[in-house]
Structures are given as C-alpha cells and as structure tokens.
C-alpha cells in the first residue's frame, strides 16, 4: 500500500504494510530522528507527534489512517533551521538529561500551548501526563512550559 503523508510541510509517499505505525515511516523511511521508540504501546509518549492539530502516539497510528494528513515532528518546529519557541524554552531551561523522552515532550508541549496559550500549573501537569521521563527532568520541563507560555 502507498499513502501520501505530509510531514513537516513536505509530501512523502510511503510504501509498506498498511498496519505499519507512523513511527517507523518517520524514522526508517523519511529519516527523521525526533520521534522515538519507547514502548510501542501508547504508554510513554516518546513517539509523540502532532497530526492535524492533535497529539498522537506515532507508535500506534498505522499509516493507513494517515492518507492526506499533515504530521508535525519536533524537526518541524524549527524556524529557518533555528530552534522554535518551544525548543528555545527547553534549551534555556536545559530541560534534557538523556533526552530520549524530550522530542516527545516538545510535541506534547506544542500541542498543549496550541490549545491553551496560558496554562495554569495544574493544566500543565495534567496536559503533560501522557509522557514519561525516567531521568526526572520533569521539573525542568515544567519550567520550560512556563517559559514558552510567557514568550
């Protein structure tokens, strides 16, 4: 099966098993490293991307469901090759240790702020809860969300 998916503004024709999750298309066929394999189960959020304005687990979303859809990954938030607003807030707060969860966190934050430009602390905590971090970078991530919301 071949599906046509727009990824970060560029159209890609993806060939393969229709049940193949978007994550494998992004990483192995399109060559984007941002979305990560963490569990393949929708439990950790390392693979989080935005599809037409909604944050989804790319490890669970089959390519067959994506014909004509627009996907954004952390690479798609770059502005002229430079860090975008959410990126910069994470950099300024040094919000990454091993960083394996972070590209997924960035997309979760992007999604959160697209829906709610000025979240309360409570809304940040609930808005982020789908994503796991093992390094305990949460506190720095929360500061990054607050910073991104301010800028």
Partner 1 sequence: MTIAPNLSRRSLLQGAGGLVVAFSLTGGVRPASAETAAVLKSVAEGAVDSYISIDPKGMVTVYSGKIDYGTGVRTGFAQMAAEELSVPLDRVTVIEGDTSLTPDQGPTYGSLSIEVGGQAIRKAAATAREALLDAAGERLGVERAGLTITDGMIRGDGGEISYGDLLNGENFSLEVNENVRLKDPAQFTIVGQPIIRDGLPGKITGAFEYMQDLKIDGMAHARVVRPPAIDATLEGVDESSISHLPDVQIVQKGNFLAVVAESEWTAVRAAREISVTWATTESLPDQAQLWTHVRETPIAKDDVTSDIGDVDSAAGTRQVKATYDFALHTHGSIGPSCSVADFSDGKLVSWSSSQATHRLRGQLSDMFSVPEEDVRCIYIEGAGCYGRNGHEDAAADAALISRELGRPIRVQWMRHDEHGWDPKGPPTLIDLTATIDDAGAVAAWSSEFFIPQGAGGRVALLGANLADLPTNQDTNPGGITNDSAIPYGFPNIRTVCHRLESTPLRPSWIRAPGRMQNTFANEAFLDEVAAELAVDPMEYRRGLIDPADKRGLAVLDRLKEFAGWEPRPSPRSGGDGDGARLTGRGMAYVKYELKRTYVGAVAEVSMDANSGAIKVDRFFVVHDCGQIINPAGVRAQIEGNVIQTTSRTLMEELTFDRNMVTSLDWASYPILRFPDVPEVNIELIDYPNEVPWGAGEPTAAVVSACISNAVFDAAGIRLRSVPFKPAKVRAALSEQRS
Min dist. Cβ of residue 69 to partner 1 (A): 19
CA 134 to chain centre: 17
Distance CA 41, CA 126 (A): 20
Q: State the binding partner of 94 from ligand FES, partner 1, none, CB within 5 to 8 A by kind.
A: partner 1
- Using the rule CB under 8 A, is 12 a contact of partner 1? no
- Using the rule CB under 6 A, is 139 a contact of ligand FES? no
Distance CA 145, CA 113 (A): 8
Collapsing DSSP to helix, strand or coil, 55 comes out as strand
- Using the rule CB under 6 A, is 38 a contact of ligand FES? yes
Stretch that binds ligand FES, among 45-53, 71-79, 83-91, 114-122 (CB under 6 A): 45-53
**119 within 8 A of 113, measured Cβ to Cβ:** yes
Residue numbers at the binding site for ligand FES (CB under 6 A): 37-47, 57, 59, 96-102, 133-135, 137
């Amino acid at each position: 099966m071949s599906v046509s998916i727009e990824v970060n503004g560029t159209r890609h024709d993806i060939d393969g098993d229709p049940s193949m999750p978007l994550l494998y298309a992004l990483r192995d066929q399109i060559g984007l490293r941002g979305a990560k394999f963490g569990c393949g189960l929708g439990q950790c959020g390392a693979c989080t991307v935005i599809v037409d304005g909604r944050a989804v687990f790319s490890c669970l979303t089959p390519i067959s469901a994506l014909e004509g859809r627009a996907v954004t990954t952390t690479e798609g938030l770059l502005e002229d090759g430079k860090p975008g607003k959410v990126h910069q807030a994470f950099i300024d707060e040094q919000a990454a240790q091993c960083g394996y969860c972070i590209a997924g966190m960035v997309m979760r934050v992007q999604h959160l702020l697209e829906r709610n430009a000025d979240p309360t602390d409570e809304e940040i905590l609930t808005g982020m809860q789908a994503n796991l971090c093992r390094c305990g970078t949460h506190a720095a991530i929360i500061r990054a969300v607050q910073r991104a919301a301010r800028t």
